[in-house]
Chain A
């Protein structure tokens, strides 16, 4: 059984409340941190090798050290709790069951960054979680962990919770800042990056919920101890939201040394695929990352076992690999239709595109319409090439990563499952009643350039 750092105490009775959380060793990291210099905390996080848990996997300590520190200008810490990636629900779980760990991590991080006002921007649909966080903040205030002169250290900090209004795009950090300022959630054009000019034009750090929570075990046990867990540049533990065709969907905290095969089939984790079905494909890191067929998921193109970590999942680039992303692990069994699945993702991205820049605004809708045609047996073979060309023209040409996120799933589906698309086109009647199944799923398929 792997060590749990974040969810160890998540199921202690009443852990949601301050008294129990404190009794179980909560807020020790704040006590420790307030005796340190802020820069030492940043160094400690750098040592831990912690990488952003929101999807991009950028080293957190490095992100913190980029924060501009001009005199007389406030700095802000913003927690990105706008978790809206399909297949990802780890942050909700964390905030719902053990809210104080986020508050604790945020106090330490605020102290390290010099932020006296920090925000939690939470997804609008998580209304009950907002209440839980508000309660936790209230308790932290009552016990002197927030507010003026925290624990007599002279450091002031307040945390505010702001609900979003139901837009995926507001999980993009600059759109989040726009929305937090009360504006339309359009991503900003970078540079300037938030570390220089963020919230209200002031230097800002935006971190994911899990990232900020992970600061707590880093402070408690030291950066080096944290870095000793895991493998290579994938240090510490990672929360995985597993869903789809598996026996035990849910949140798993893993250290990043286990293999994908073990994660899917062992009883400790997902517990295999129900009803004796076979694995067809899997999206290992939330809907935006490329889908992988079973053969490439379990072993890399080099023939090595694929592990659940940043490096191994992205091994082979997009041609034969994928990404760790936000850890939304979606498993598809042999009965699932890749065309329908891709269509449903395209529909999501069309609906969530902010409409600011033209490739994403127009391209996402176009892809959705073509995919719907193919799914309904009305497509043609040239449509598949057209889809490839559209995604190629969206990718990299947009303001924010949503364009890439919309293009990658389509590209990967065509790259690995082109035969299934062609089957749909060639069997317009049959595709309405039958599934393509597993026919060629394990064969490497020609990659169009």
Chain B
């Protein structure tokens, strides 16, 4: 064995995949894609240290590794558990996971106001998707929900703490992207709250990215609040040359007619901000909040939206056409008319080749 082992094998829901060492179970599952991928509310691959908190990504590890094939005693958070060679993971095939996950969804929704009809996040809310996919239809909670007063953090962002699920993502944004930490969590337990340090307004160029990472409607764009529902707006990819250092200038514009209703960073299929050349495509507040004219942007085209999203709703799809097989069956001939012509019919003239007729075939073509 002189050769160095470059990849390790992990089996998730009976699908085996080779991944690089150091990959987490969740990342491996995302490489497989589809239903095998556990949901994640707090984990954000672009934010260091995130994850492990919401517990929606719990999976069962049926075998730890080839070297030590014992199962792990508890369900583990897939976002923070690294894979081992020969690890066998059960997500949707596990008996324990759906029950535990439904429990977590119930816990997350316990103090969530469910004010989706008036919430700007509705339509692109991860908690809605999570509840729809993994939750139960009714709650068993009969007590008053915890509420907070709405709070303005900075000139552009409103914090509605009542909706918050304490994923801590925005505090990591404040820590890792913006240049001063004035944003964090105060208090503890079920009265813990996101807050700015001693009510200081957040004032720096990248604070707006907190809105993008927020999985629910706790942090909303004050320039967009109550202006429109997201599914009525049309997302297009656009770019501009931005002078702010660190801003990638690539964004999604949400249009209605020619009017730009809001600007967000571009997101991938997991709802995370996309990366360009290895750098995460965060955008600055100038692009996000102050550049709301179509003239200022170079529009590249429609944003690809998942067909499952309510925003997609029959409008913007990347439908895959089934591949054309007729040509193969017909030995390379390219028929214009896909009709079985009866051998005794008077119009059937085998010497006239259908593929040589330009346009639809008519009876006149056969009377030559």
Contacts and interface: CB of A to CB of B under 8 A. Distances in A.
Interface of A: 167, 169, 184, 189, 350-359, 361-366, 369, 386, 393, 396-399
B55 A358 contact: yes
A354 B187 CA distance: 8
Nearest to B185: A184
A190 to B, nearest CB: 9
A362 B188 contact: no
Nearest to B191: A355
A364 B53 CA distance: 16
B189 A365 contact: yes
A397 B108 contact: no
Interface of B: 51-55, 58, 73-75, 77, 80, 99-100, 103-104, 106-108, 110-111, 140-141, 143, 165-166, 168, 184-185, 187-192
Nearest to A386: B140
28 contacts: A167-B188, A184-B184, A184-B185, A189-B52, A352-B188, A355-B166, A355-B185, A355-B187, A356-B53, A356-B166, A356-B168, A357-B53, A357-B55, A358-B108, A358-B165, A361-B192, A362-B110, A362-B111, A386-B140, A393-B106, A393-B107, A396-B73, A397-B74, A397-B75, A397-B100, A397-B104, A398-B55, A399-B53
A361 B55 CA distance: 12
Contacts of A369: 143
Contact of A393 (B53, B80, B103): B103
B110 A397 contact: no
B166 A359 contact: no
Nearest to A372: B143
A362 B58 contact: no
Nearest to B56: A358
Given A351-B189, A358-B165, A399-B77, 4 more contacts: A359-B103, A363-B107, A365-B189, A399-B53
A396 B55 CA distance: 11
B52 A361 contact: no
A281 to B, nearest CB: 27
A362 B190 contact: yes
Given A386-B140, A396-B74, A359 B55 contact: yes
A362 B140 contact: no
Contact of A357 (B52, B73, B110): B52
Contact of B107 (A350, A362, A396, A399): A362
Contacts of A397: 55, 58, 74-75, 100, 103-104
B107 A358 contact: yes
A275 to B, nearest CB: 38
Given A362-B108, A366-B141, A396-B75, A355 B103 contact: no
Contact of B100 (A361, A365, A393): A393
Contact of A353 (B110, B143, B188): B188
Given A355-B166, A386-B140, A397-B75, A350 B80 contact: no
A357 B104 CA distance: 10
Contact of A169 (B53, B73, B168, B188): B188
A189 B48 CA distance: 13
Contacts of A366: 107, 110, 141, 143
B189 A358 contact: no
A358 B188 contact: no
B194 to A, nearest CB: 11
B63 to A, nearest CB: 18
A184 B110 CA distance: 25
Nearest to A351: B189
Nearest to A187: B52
